[in-house]
Every structure is written in C-alpha cells, then in structure tokens.
Chains A and B, each alone.
Chain A
Amino acid sequence: MTADILLQAVIGGLLMGLIYALVAAGLSLIFGLMDVVNFAHGELLMVAMFATFSLWQLTGLDPLMVLPLVVVLMFALGVAIYHGLIARALTVQFNRGMVQIFVTFGLGIFIRGLAQFFYGGEFRSITGGMVANRTVQMAGIYVPLPQFAASLVCLGAFALLLVISRTEFGRALEATREDRDAVALIGINRDHIFAIGWGLGAATVGIAGVMLATFYYVSPNVGANFATIAYVTVALGGFGSLGGALVAGLLIGEIEALTALVLEPSLKQVGMFVVYLAVVLFRPRGLFGRL
C-alpha cells in the first residue's frame, strides 16, 4: 500500500465523515432537546435529496442554488412534524416511550412509501450543476469537487449551529433541555422551543441531504443506511453533544474509509460497528456525552 492510496483514503473519509457528522448533528439536536429518537431521520435526509433532485430537474437551477430553499422547506417540515405528531405523542398517558418510537418509525415508513409512489424505486442522480462530476487535484491527491463542496458546507452548518447555541435562543434551548417543566416559570413556551428544535434538526439534516444529492444516488431507501450510521455516530459522540457529533462523524468516516482499504468494500462498515461496540462497552455515554 502506498502512501498516496492511504492519503487518498484518509481524505475521502474526512469528506464523507463531515456529512455523517451533520446528519448526526440533526438527530442529536432533537434527541438532546427532548429525549425523542427520530426514527424517521433517514427519511428526512431522503426528502431533502429528492427535493434537491426535483428542483434541479424542474427548474434547471444548480443544486447549490436550491440549498436555501430546501433548508427552509425542511425547517417547515420539522415544525409540522412536531406539531402534527410529536406534540400529541408527548401527551399520551400510557407507554409514552413506545408511542414516541412508533410514531417516528411509522412516519419514516409513510415518507418512504410516498417517495416510492411518486418517484418509483429506481436510482436517480443529479448530473448537472457547477460541481457535478468534477475533480480537483491537489498535491497528487484527487478530490471530487462535489464532496469537497459538501464538506465545506457541512463545516459552515456546524459553525452556524455553534453560533445559534450561543444566542439567547440557544440558551433557551439549553434551559428547556435541562428542565422542560421549569421554563414556563420564566415565560417560555416549551412547545415553541420544541417545534423550533425539530425545525432546526430537520433543516440540519436537510443541508446534508442537498449536498449529498450532488454526488450520491437518490432513491426512497437511501436514508436507511445513513440513518444507521447517524445512530452510531450520535451514540459514539455522546447523546445531545454537537461537538461529539462532529468528532464522531469524522471518526466514523475515517474508520469506514480505512476499513475499506483492508477488507472487501462490502464489509467497509464492519469497522465502525466494532468501534461502536467497544465504546458502548467501555464508555456507554459516548465520547463527549453527559451522564
């Protein structure tokens, strides 16, 4: 194995890892805020990818140009999911945990069914736009331009999430996460905070979806694999930790890329699950999780 191949793999893992990290960040944000695991998270990613694909196909606009629009749509979708489903699931009296699991799980199946209905099962891909199918060469290493653009946008999204967490709204989010029943004492409507939390979580995974769509196939089932990786990433980084999601996402990306060097490509995900099991055994709260 030459150093070039290794370096190529490390850079590939880094670029993919940033996408994993951002997908996980959206999941972690919602989980950290209200202890609800969104089992439709992969489907939200898929919705953003199809939205990008359709907007590109219908309008011919560059996928990067539709990013803001898709992000706004995803935010609205997140808010709608909270008000339409989650808020109701929170008020049930019995088996609340189960209800919350099945409500998002069912939502995921429903969204996948819709995608199947409207788009059929075949794989589609975006073949145009300013980054499509282009590669840049840096110091002998080939970097696919779509992946490079995606990783920059993901980093930007993380910076934005960090800024939001420092605002007064971010403090209110943190307070709600600490004691959802106490925020009413300071006049904060927790329903409002939860809804915006869902909006932010969906918008976050939406950004990842738009960028992923510029180089990855789009199909109704595309979210499943990314969602699995996101659950692993969140558990590895620590539930509810933004920095944890970033570090764990990069770690997962690297482990995957390096595993693919030594094992058959079809086994490339073995490495991350081995690391995940080790973390769960020796540090169940994840790398940066709070107890």
Chain B
Amino acid sequence: MLRLHDVSASYRGLKALQGVSMDVGKGEVVAVVGANGAGKSTLLRAIAGQVATTGSIEFDGESLAHVPAHMVTRRGISLVPEGRRLFPRLSVEDNLRLGAYSKRGDFDRFAPLELVFSLFPRLRERLMQRAGTLSGGEQQMLAIGRALMTQPRLLMLDEPSQGIMPKLVDDIFKAILRIRRLDVTILLVEQRLAESLEIADRAYVLQTGRVVMSGPAKQIAADAAVRQAYLGM
C-alpha cells in the first residue's frame, strides 16, 4: 500500500533520513521505533508531504513526489502529528467537522462522527468545549478523531501517548486496535516500545536516519541486542 524506496530528507540542515526503504501492507499495523532524533517524526512528515525528500514514495502505486500536503490528505493518508496541532480556539465539534471539510459535496461526509464518538465517548460530552481547554489525553483523542473524519486509508500516528496520563494511554492504544479492525492501515511512531510492539505486526528500527533493522514486531521486541543498542532499554 505504502512503499518507500531510498528516501532521504534534510531537516534544518541536518540529514534526518538517509536512504530509508520500507513497505506497509494494507491492513497492517507497522511500528517505527528508535531513539530520540532517529528521524521517526521526519519520516511521517515526509510521507505527509511536509518535508522535501529525494527517493520515491508511492501510495497505492501512485507517486507522492511533488504532491502538496493537503492533497496527500485527500488521497487518504492522515497524519496525527506530534503536538496534535488542534485548532485550540475552535470547539471540539468544529475541529471534528473540519476534518471532513475537503469532502464537501459528499452527502454522508459527517458519518464518521459516530465512529469517533464510539471510540472516544468523552468527546461527545465535550462537543461545545474549546479544544484548547481539553486535557492532554482528550486532545489526543480529538486529534485522532479529526484525522478519522478525513476518512483515511492510512493513519499515521506520531507519539500518540506523549504527555498523557497512563490510564488514558491504554484507551488510546485500545482505540488504535479498534481502528485497525475498520480496515485502516496504521503506521505508528512511539516512544513506548513495549506497548507499540505489542499491537504492531511489523516494526522498523531507525537509527540516525537509517533503517537498521526490520521484521515481525514480536521478533524485534525479543531481540535483546536491539533493545540495548538502539532503544536504550
């Protein structure tokens, strides 16, 4: 579904990605793990069209080269970015509905709202509240909800557990598993190694912008050398 070949990118003058190749198959949950600064976020931003890259990125067989970021979203790739990037002064409802903005003209473009509310019932209770007044966990739920409103086929999550109470982290991971069952492919970047490798099918280990290891998530999780050398645990 998503295929990267020899992708390199610079971020603020530094080489953030160097010759990354990877495949994500339809329906898979793929985790990208690695230490801070390994290039995980840059990888997701490169796929989303937010950083210039060399090499090739293909989605459903079509090249994403020179496709502007908003068109990448319209093609069915949705990024839940680091820091969530909600619209803090807009209400929860407006944030969600804006997710369907580019589908204007579709009769049932707000249909995913029900799905979002079933995943995150808290959001329904807070519809009128400004997004900026939500707790960290609720903001993350809203960010995922907003991304689902674009009806993605590939959902990319950048550190969804960052800055969230441990109790809510479980909810987020459970939601990711439920989203997967809806035929949405998931590419997950996470600091929480154990949890992310547990829900992932496969994983890539990044170190200073290169893929140093890849394979079934269980195998990566079990590999003591990986844990020590690249993940610092």
A residues with a Cβ closer than 8 A to B are 168, 171-172, 174-175, 178-179, 181-190
For the complex, give the distance between the alpha carbons of A74 and B98 in Å: 28
Instruction: Find the A residue at minimum CB distance from B74.
Output: A187
Give the distance to chain B from A197, nearest Cβ to Cβ, in Å: 15
B88 in contact (CB, < 8 A)? yes
Which residues of chain A are within 8 angstroms of B50 by Cβ–Cβ distance?
A: 181, 184
- Of the listed stretches B77-85, B119-127, B190-198, chain A binds B77-85
Distance of A95 from chain B, by nearest CB (Å): 19
Task: Write the chain B residue with the least CB distance to A189.
Answer: B70
Q: How far is the CA of A181 from the CA of B87 in the complex (A)?
A: 11
Docked CA distance A178–B74 (Å): 21
Contact indicator A178/B81 (Cβ below 8 Å): no
Q: Give the top 5 A-B pairs by smallest Cβ distance, nearest first.
A: A187-B102, A184-B69, A182-B85, A187-B73, A184-B70
Contact status A188-B102, CB under 8 Å:
yes
A185 to chain B, nearest CB (A): 6
Q: How far is the CA of A179 from the CA of B70 in the complex (A)?
A: 14
Chain B contacts to A: CB under 8 angstroms: 48-50, 68-74, 78-79, 81, 85-90, 94, 97-99, 101-104, 146-147, 149-150
A189 touching B79 by the CB < 8 A rule? no
A174–B81 touching, CB < 8 Å: no
Across the interface, which residues of B come within 8 angstroms of A184, CB to CB? 48-50, 68-70, 72-73
A178 and B50 CA atoms in complex are apart in Å by 18
Query: A181 — which chain B residues lie within 8 A by C-beta?
Result: 50, 85
Tell me whether B85 and A187 are in contact (CB under 8 A).
no
Bound CA span A235–B102, Å: 34
Name 23 interchain pairs, CB-CB below 8 A, sorted by A: A168-B98, A168-B104, A171-B90, A171-B94, A172-B101, A175-B87, A178-B87, A179-B85, A184-B68, A184-B69, A184-B73, A185-B48, A185-B73, A185-B79, A186-B73, A186-B98, A187-B70, A187-B71, A187-B73, A188-B70, A188-B98, A188-B102, A190-B70
| Smallest CB gap from B103: residue in A | A187
Q: Which residues of B contact A188 (CB under 8 A)?
A: 70, 98, 101-102
CA gap between A172 and B69 in the complex, in Å: 16
Complex contacts, B102 vs chain A, CB 8 Å? 186-188
For A190, the chain B residues whose CB sits under 8 A away are: 70
Closest residue of A by beta carbon distance from B104: A168
Docked complex Cα distance between A179 and B98 (Å)? 13
Q: With contacts A184-B49, A186-B98 known, what are 10 further pairs, Cβ within 8 A?
A: A168-B97, A171-B98, A178-B89, A182-B87, A184-B48, A185-B85, A185-B147, A186-B150, A187-B74, A187-B150
Smallest CB–CB gap between A290 and chain B, Å?
8
Would you call B69 and A179 a contact (CB within 8 A)?
no
- B68 partner residues in chain A, CB cutoff 8 A: 184, 189
Q: What CA separation (Å) do A146 and B90 show in the bound complex? A: 40
Chain B residues with CB under 8 A of A185: 48, 69, 73, 78-79, 81, 85, 146-147, 150
In the complex, A181 Cα to B49 Cα: how many Å? 12
Residue pair B78, A168 in contact (C-beta under 8 Å): no
Residues in chain B near residue A168, CB distance under 8 A: 97-98, 101, 104
Chain A nearest CB, measured from B233 CB (Å): 31
CB neighbours of B71 from chain A (8 A): 187, 189
Is B81 in contact with A182, judged by CB distance below 8 angstroms? yes
Residues of the A chain whose Cβ atoms lie less than 8 Å from the Cβ of B103:
187
Q: Whole-angstrom distance between the alpha carbons of A185 and B155 in the complex? A: 11
Query: Could you say which residues of chain A place their CB within 8 Å of the CB of B98?
Result: 168, 171-172, 175, 186, 188
A189 CA to B69 CA, complexed, in Å: 8
With both chains docked as a complex, state the minimum distance between the C-beta of A243 and any C-beta of chain B, in angstroms: 15
Partner of A179, one of B79, B87, B94, B104: B87
Q: B150 contacts which chain A residues (CB < 8 A)?
A: 185-187
Q: Which residues of chain A have C-beta atoms less than 8 A from B146's C-beta?
A: 185-186
Shortest beta-carbon distance from B12 to chain A in Å: 13
Q: How far is the CA of A181 from the CA of B50 in the complex (A)?
A: 9
CA of A186 to CA of B146, assembled, Å: 8
Known contacts A185-B79, A186-B150, A174 near B85 by CB under 8 Å: no
Q: Are B89 and A174 in contact (CB under 8 A)?
A: yes
